[in-house]
Amino acid sequence: MPDEVLSQDEVESLLSAMDPAAAAAAPLSTPTRSAHTASRSHDKVSPYDFKRPERVGKEQMRALQSLHEGFGRNFGAALSALLRTIVEVKLTSVDQLTYSEFVFSLENPTCFNLLRADPFEGNLILDINPSVLYPIIDRLLGGGKQFGPLARRPLTEIELRLVARITALVMIELRRAWENVLELDISVERVESNPQLVQIVPPNEVVVLVSFELTLGDVRGMMNLCIPFNAIERFSGKLTANSWVGYSRGSATTHTIGTISNRLDGSRVELVVTLAESSIRTADLIGLRVGDIITTDHDCNRFLKVAVEGVAKFLARPGAYKGHKAIEVEDKIEPRKKNPGAT
């Protein structure tokens, strides 16, 4: 029997002739789907905590994160140069929370610095954890890689003087990090050991907490920068992609080239001239005396290589100048071009 397509009237007739129990069961599927859809839409609803309101927008939070990532890299390099050892500074988080949550999360005693950053309103907080601060102080006082037990006490007057060198580096790099957004004049108003005795804003006020992890050898510790929202509220519009993107590497200008050249002019570099290379037995080396002559295969008419900081840069000839041994630079050594296919 060939397949036939039912008309609309025939379909309606068949539906009306169906068993009433089956017809009654059919509509029940609709509420089931509706309940599933309602539960699925309910899952997308995120609860809002009125105790921790998010007053800083996502774009501003991303700007603060990128801005302080650059600060962390530069501060790590400056601190490494001061301590003459490798110090890694890594940005771990940028969060919004209340001031009371921030204060009660800190150790007591700690190094609690109140910063004044004009034109920001109020104060900022720089907290350095004692677990990494005391090893830094020990290093500044000439200690080695082995650090003693962690002291649980407030800082002494001498230690506060040493900590001032660390906070000075923080303020310098923080000023550079913010210079594309705002010109900051940062200073330390006072240093406290008990964070609960200092209240710069009401306990429920929202703050932005920028946390860094400092690694000094086998020692790790946290450094926290607390920025109250009311301090940056007037300038939050400047924390956009157009303002902080300029912190990344830019093209060289005549001014920057001249500044770097002036700073490098006074730098001392090691200059080494290789007169000749030869091999000698250990027994002959031990028996060398003043006046002995070592023969080499180097032709006296050939150029000598001049290396600057271990890199061959010039070709020169030996000679004398005003009674002193000297060389005369004849040519430059062009750097080798890397093979694009080499790994």
Residue 103 CB neighbour total at 10 angstroms: 22
How far is Cα 63 from Cα 244, in angstroms, rounded to an integer? 6
d(CA 264, CA 81): 17
Beta bridge partners of 219: 216
Q: Is the pTM for the entire model greater than 0.85?
A: no
Q: From the CB of residue 65, how many other CB atoms can be counted at a distance below 10 Å?
A: 14
CB 191 within 8 A of CB 111: yes
Q: Of 91, 117, 128, which is closest to residue 232 (Cα–Cα)?
A: 117
In CATH, 58-248 is 3.40.1550.10: yes
Cα–Cα distance measured from residue 217 to residue 136, given in angstroms and rounded to the nearest whole number = 11
Q: What is the pLDDT along the chain (343 residues), one digit of tens a residue?
A: 455 666 777 767 777 766 555 445 444 444 444 455 545 555 566 565 555 556 677 888 888 888 899 999 999 999 999 888 889 999 999 999 899 999 998 888 889 999 999 998 889 999 999 888 988 988 888 876 666 666 778 888 998 999 999 999 999 999 999 988 888 999 999 999 888 888 888 888 889 999 999 998 888 999 999 999 888 888 877 776 545 444 445 567 787 788 788 777 878 888 888 888 888 888 888 888 888 888 887 777 788 888 888 888 898 888 888 888 888 888 888 877 655 555 4
Domain residue ranges in the chain: 58-248, 270-276+301-336
Q: Which helix (H) or strand (E) holds 39?
A: helix 29-43
Structure tokens at 314: 């010039």
CB 116 within 8 A of CB 123: yes
Tell me the C-alpha distance between 184 and 82, whole Å: 23
